[in-house]
Amino acid sequence: MRFAAIGLDHRHIFHMVGRLIEAGATCVGFDPATSDERVLAGFRERFPALAPCDREALLDDPTIDLIACAAIPRDRAAIAIRSMEAGKDVMLDKPGVTDFGQLAAVEAAVARTGRIFSICFSERFVVPATIVAGKLIADGAIGRVIQTVGLGPHRLNRAIRPGWFFDTATYGGILTDIASHQIDQFLHFTGSTEAQIVTSAVGHFGADDWPGFEDFGEILLRGDRAGGYIRCDWFTADGLPTWGDGRLTLLGTEGTIELRKYVDIAGRPGTDHVFLVDRSGTRHIDASREPLTYFRDLVADVGARSETAMRQSHVFTVCRLALEAQAQAVRLATRPERSAA
């Protein structure tokens, strides 16, 4: 499978390209256009053998099967549609779309072209712990999953963020963006194919220089099989040795699984900690060596025209729920009300 990278605006393009190469695909080039020269520099450092190429030349190359894209979020849907119309499958960074019009246009393009529209939900696909958790659930370790609690804290790193990062119209809002990870995991681990947003909220509690920037968000949702709570934020403190203490708790009828994906604070070193509680006791599982499957499955899907990496309907459901949560969200007060004197 041959692919190219278009949209070097977010650092997620590093693992998107790197993991595809590890899965056996060949990267034939990249479009060097970027809104952040630091991302381009980092890309060149990681992939010195790859050659820059004009975007249209990449899209017009009939030997290229797939486009990997981490462009400015607002621009991703248009790049995906152009790529699909050129006969290519696409793998986007999240969020794949930032409004309902884009979602409708992408769905129409998939129906029209028959191409694959995939989103690399890295908090599941690049985390070995989620694969181990999926195997435990499939084996019946905790019975039927009836609720998920997904936490997605992030470090802001304001000094390295481009201007578009703080513009809600450009990145789509915190629930459209970050919470799409947790919505994806809720649907996947509960086996739900549909869900409703019960309530959602966003807020800005940080520095006053970007008052419109959403640095906190939460969602309560209920599917056809289970319920879920999601919280995401930009308040990871500098003292944490990684970008965020991402956690997922899976409540089953016969036990629980907790994933501490990136760090076990003040505990075991490394990443991908899985904690299992069942009728026999408690257990810690080091999942860090579990092989990732999404990228190799996507490479296979491109050739076989299958949906083993992720169902197309699942992708669209995640996008729709994230957009609905964002559209329905109440705005939380940024400062506590003062009582009357």
CA separation for the pair 202, 231 (Å, rounded): 10
The DSSP H or E segment spanning 60 is: helix 55-60
What are the C-alpha distances in Å from 55 to residues 79, 259, 323?
A: 10, 40, 29
DSSP type of residue 52? B
Q: Categorize the per-residue pLDDT at 210 as very low, low, confident or very high, splitting at 50, 70 and 90.
A: confident
Tell me if 262 is assigned to some domain.
yes
> With bands split at pLDDT 50, 70 and 90, how would you rate the model's confidence at 340?
very low
109 and 128 both lie in a single domain? no
The b/e string for 11-29 (b: 16+ C-beta within 10 A; e otherwise) is bbbbbbbebbeebebebbb
Answer yes or no: is 305 within a domain: no
Same domain, 37 and 53: yes
* Lowest mean pLDDT across 9-18, 119-128, 147-156, 326-335: 326-335
**Shared domain check, 139 and 276:** yes
Residue 1, pLDDT above cutoff 60:
yes
pLDDT band at 341 (very low <50, low <70, confident <90, very high): very low
Q: Note whether residue 87 is domain-resident.
A: yes
Q: For 164-207, what is each residue's pLDDT tens digit?
A: 999 999 999 999 999 999 999 999 999 999 999 999 999 999 98
In 3D, which of 75, 102, 106 has the Cα closest to residue 9?
75
Instruction: State whether 34 and 183 are in the same domain.
Output: no
Examine the domain organization and report whether 131 and 71 are in the same domain. Answer: no
The residue-averaged pLDDT of 55-81 equals 98
What is the per-residue burial (b if ≥16 Cβ within 10 Å, else e) of 314-324?
bbbbbbbbbbb
Q: Does 116 share its domain with 31? A: yes
- Among the candidates 94, 120, 146, a domain finishes at 120
| CATH number for 169 | 3.30.360.10
- Whether residues 56 and 114 fall in one domain: yes
User: Which structure tokens are listed for 181?
Assistant: 């990870």
Q: Distance (Å, rounded) from C-alpha 273 to C-alpha 290?
A: 11
- Reported as a pLDDT band with limits 50, 70 and 90, residue 333 is confident
My answer on whether 19 and 114 are in the same domain is yes
Residues 169 and 146 in one domain: yes
**Which has the closest alpha carbon to 90: 322, 291, 293, 315?**
315
Residue range of the domain that includes 252: 124-292
**Residue 338 belongs to a domain:** no
Looking at the structure, do residues 179 and 191 belong to the same domain, yes or no?
Answer: yes
Report which secondary-structure segment, H or E, holds 28.
strand 26-30
| Alpha-carbon span 315 to 22, nearest angstrom | 23
Q: What is the mean pLDDT of the chain?
A: 96
Q: Give yes or no: residues 51 and 159 share one domain.
A: no
What percent of the chain has a predicted confidence (pLDDT) above 90?
Answer: 94
User: Is 274 part of a structural domain of the chain?
Assistant: yes
Length of the chain: 341
Cα 57 to chain centroid distance, Å, stands at 29
Q: Decide which of 72, 88, 120 is a domain's last residue.
A: 120
**Domain closes at, from 120, 147, 164:** 120
This prediction has a pTM of: 0.95
pLDDT in tens, 263-280: 999 899 999 999 999 999
Tell me how many domains the chain contains: 2
191 part of a folded domain = yes
